[in-house]
């Protein structure tokens, strides 16, 4: 009898890995997945599952997809692929889950239904109406959802179909397990318990976001109290990027490949190149280069013409801050603003957002609020 223990081999094929892309709505996640899959495996090699209330495929010409409005459709499609892989889907290599948060949402009613059916004949059984009531409570319903979906995904993997997925993001306050201190991170918008279960099975997770350069410009006014020249933040350019690594943990990215590049433009060719280079590095074929890709894909937005005055021409500085810095600046100045100004800002937040100053607000809304605070004398 041969002894146990075998040597692993890093696959050259990107579709042998579990890959996810998270990003805000409209950033280009679905389009990226379509372009990546088309280039890697062709039309017969992938199917994108348009899950739940997702509707991004209608704006993409030529994408291979199926609508998955509920768990019944998910079960039917994935079971058909598993049962008939060799005959009906011989070239299928990737299932794209668009989006992960919607997949978990459509699975929750199925867990409730199954729990009620399995226990209907028991004496004094009260049917569950919510997930918290199913499976005996205490989070067991959520665990059942996780098992239900991951078991099916692993059945797909056993017949040679990998899973790629997309998901939405939000900014969360994360507590460091070691120090107990909190920090802000751009991460999933779904229940952390669900996401963690999938993330642990993910080989590469990129965060798609808009990298904005915000400059400080002088307003031509002086603070009546400090007598200092007042400045305001203004966006000067932006580009869509994917972050695979972040040593500051400001984005919730991940890679099992130590040699993956830190950041790339949001582009299919750059995406494929980044992962292929990471694979080559893992195989020892090339030396790791984890610096940010300098390839240009996105065109900077048109800059606004600076306001000018005869006495105090506006000067632009080269200091760069991020979107969160602009929000911090607004929060600080809001505290000392007058009641009318506060009322005006609250109305804008309610009209153009969730009613709160958070990361979901567009940059032009933040600039509008900043301008209102600038105008207060």
Does residue 27 sit in the same domain as residue 170? yes
Residue 373 carries which DSSP code?
H
Q: Which of 97-111, 185-199, 229-243, 308-322 has the highest mean pLDDT?
A: 97-111
Q: Where are the beta strands (DSSP E) in the chain?
A: 19-23, 46-51, 65-68, 94-98, 162-167, 169-175, 182-188, 204-222, 229-243, 254-255, 263-265
Token couple for 166: 């997309």
- Helices (H), strands (E): how many in the chain? 10, 11
**Per-residue pLDDT tens over the stretch 328-352:** 778 777 877 888 888 888 888 887 7
Whether 112 maps to a domain, the answer reads yes
Whether 59 maps to a domain, the answer reads yes
What is residue 44's predicted lDDT score, i.e. its pLDDT? 95
**Per-residue pLDDT tens over the stretch 361-372:** 777 788 888 888
CA dist., res. 233 & res. 366, Å (int) = 9
Bigger pLDDT: 47 or 347?
47
Compute how many other C-beta atoms are within 10 angstroms of the C-beta atom of residue 60: 14
When divided into structural domains, the chain yields a total of 2
Across the range 186-190, mean pLDDT stands at 75
Token couple for 110: 């199925």
Across the range 181-204, mean pLDDT stands at 82
What is residue 153's predicted lDDT score, i.e. its pLDDT? 95
What is residue 278's predicted lDDT score, i.e. its pLDDT? 92
Q: Is the pLDDT confidence value at 319 over 80? A: no
What is residue 42's predicted lDDT score, i.e. its pLDDT? 94
Whether 70 maps to a domain, the answer reads yes
Q: Is the pLDDT confidence value at 298 over 70? A: no
Whether 239 maps to a domain, the answer reads no
Token couple for 325: 């810095």
Whether 271 maps to a domain, the answer reads no
What is residue 301's predicted lDDT score, i.e. its pLDDT? 36
Whether 227 maps to a domain, the answer reads no
Q: Which of 202, 228, 245 is the last residue of a domain?
A: 202
Q: Is the pLDDT confidence value at 35 over 90? A: yes
Domain residues for the domain of 367 are 323-377
Across the range 295-319, mean pLDDT stands at 38
Across the range 242-269, mean pLDDT stands at 83
Q: Is the pLDDT confidence value at 134 over 50? A: yes
Q: Is the pLDDT confidence value at 66 over 70? A: yes
| 93 close to 44: Cβ distance less than 8 angstroms | no
Q: Which of 56-65, 284-293, 311-320 has the highest mean pLDDT?
A: 56-65
Query: Sorting pLDDT into bands at 50, 70 and 90, what band is 177?
Result: low
Query: Sorting pLDDT into bands at 50, 70 and 90, what band is 373?
Result: confident
Global pTM?
A: 0.69
Specify the long-range contacts of residues 4-13, CB closer than 8 Å, at least 24 apart: 10/279, 10/282, 10/283, 11/279, 12/279, 12/283
Does residue 53 sit in the same domain as residue 195? yes
Q: Which of 75-79, 116-120, 162-166 shows the lowest mean pLDDT across its residues?
A: 116-120
Phi/psi of residue 353, nearest 5 degrees: -155, -150
Query: Sorting pLDDT into bands at 50, 70 and 90, what band is 294?
Result: low
CA dist., res. 85 & res. 121, Å (int) = 38
Q: Which of 179, 202, 225 is the last residue of a domain?
A: 202
Q: Is the pLDDT confidence value at 85 over 90? A: yes
Say how many residues make up the chain.
377
Does residue 328 sit in the same domain as residue 197? no
Specify the long-range contacts of residues 288-293, CB closer than 8 Å, at least 24 apart: 288/258, 288/259, 289/259, 289/261, 290/245, 290/259, 290/260, 290/261, 290/262, 291/261, 291/262, 292/261, 292/262, 292/263, 292/264, 293/261, 293/263, 293/264, 293/265
Q: Is the pLDDT confidence value at 136 over 90? A: no
Q: Is the pLDDT confidence value at 170 over 80? A: no
Token couple for 270: 């750059």
Does residue 197 sit in the same domain as residue 329? no
Q: Output the domain CATH number for residue 26.
A: 3.40.50
Reported as half-sphere exposure (CB side, CA atoms, 13 A), residue 54 has a value of 31
Does residue 328 sit in the same domain as residue 179? no
Sort strands 162-167 and 19-23 into parallel, antiparallel or unpaired: parallel
Residue 316 carries which DSSP code?
B
Q: Where are the beta strands (DSSP E) in 79-136?
A: 94-98
Q: Which of 156, 171, 202 is the last residue of a domain?
A: 202
Query: Sorting pLDDT into bands at 50, 70 and 90, what band is 1?
Result: low
Whether 332 maps to a domain, the answer reads yes
Query: Sorting pLDDT into bands at 50, 70 and 90, what band is 312?
Result: very low
Mean pLDDT of the chain: 81
Q: Is the pLDDT confidence value at 297 over 60? A: no
Across the range 226-244, mean pLDDT stands at 77
What is residue 306's predicted lDDT score, i.e. its pLDDT? 37
Whether 340 maps to a domain, the answer reads yes
C-alpha distances in angstroms, 374 versus 289, 296, 350? 44, 34, 20
CA dist., res. 319 & res. 9, Å (int) = 46
Q: In 3-state terms, what secondary structure has residue 194?
A: helix
Does residue 198 sit in the same domain as residue 327? no
């Amino acid at each position: 009898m041969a002894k146990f223990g075998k040597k692993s081999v890093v696959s050259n094929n990107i579709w042998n890995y579990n890959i996810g892309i998270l990003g805000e709505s409209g950033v280009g996640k679905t389009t990226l997945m379509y372009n990546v899959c088309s280039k890697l495996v062709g039309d017969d090699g992938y199917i994108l599952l348009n899950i739940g209330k997702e509707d991004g495929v209608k704006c993409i010409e030529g994408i291979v997809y199926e609508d998955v409005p509920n768990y019944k459709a998910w079960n039917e499609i994935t079971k058909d692929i598993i049962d008939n892989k060799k005959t009906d889907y011989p070239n299928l290599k990737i299932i794209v889950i668009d989006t992960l948060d919607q997949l978990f949402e459509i699975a929750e009613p199925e867990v409730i239904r199954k729990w009620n059916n399995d226990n209907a004949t028991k004496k004094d059984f009260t049917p569950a109406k919510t997930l918290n009531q199913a499976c005996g409570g205490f989070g067991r319903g959520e665990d059942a959802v996780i098992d239900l979906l991951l078991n099916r995904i692993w059945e797909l993997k056993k017949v040679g179909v990998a899973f790629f997925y997309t998901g939405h993001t939000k900014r969360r306050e994360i507590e460091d397990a070691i120090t107990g201190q909190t920090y802000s991170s751009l991460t999933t918008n779904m229940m952390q318990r669900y996401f963690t279960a999938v993330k642990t099975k993910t080989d590469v997770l990129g965060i798609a976001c808009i990298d904005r350069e915000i400059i400080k410009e002088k307003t031509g006014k002086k603070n009546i109290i400090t007598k200092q020249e007042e400045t305001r933040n203004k966006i000067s350019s932006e580009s869509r990027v994917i972050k695979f690594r972040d040593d500051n943990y400001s984005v919730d990215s991940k890679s099992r490949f130590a040699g993956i590049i830190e950041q790339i433009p949001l582009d299919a060719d750059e995406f494929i190149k980044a992962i292929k280079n990471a694979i080559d590095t893992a195989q020892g074929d090339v030396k790791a280069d984890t610096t940010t890709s300098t390839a240009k894909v996105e065109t900077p937005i048109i800059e606004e013409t600076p306001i000018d005055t005869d006495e105090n021409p506006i000067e632009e500085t080269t200091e760069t801050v991020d979107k969160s810095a602009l929000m911090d600046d607004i929060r600080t100045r809001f505290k000392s603003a007058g009641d009318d100004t506060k009322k005006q800002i609250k109305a804008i937040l309610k009209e153009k957002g969730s009613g709160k100053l958070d990361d979901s607000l567009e940059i032009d809304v933040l600039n509008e609020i900043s301008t209102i605070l600038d105008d207060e004398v």
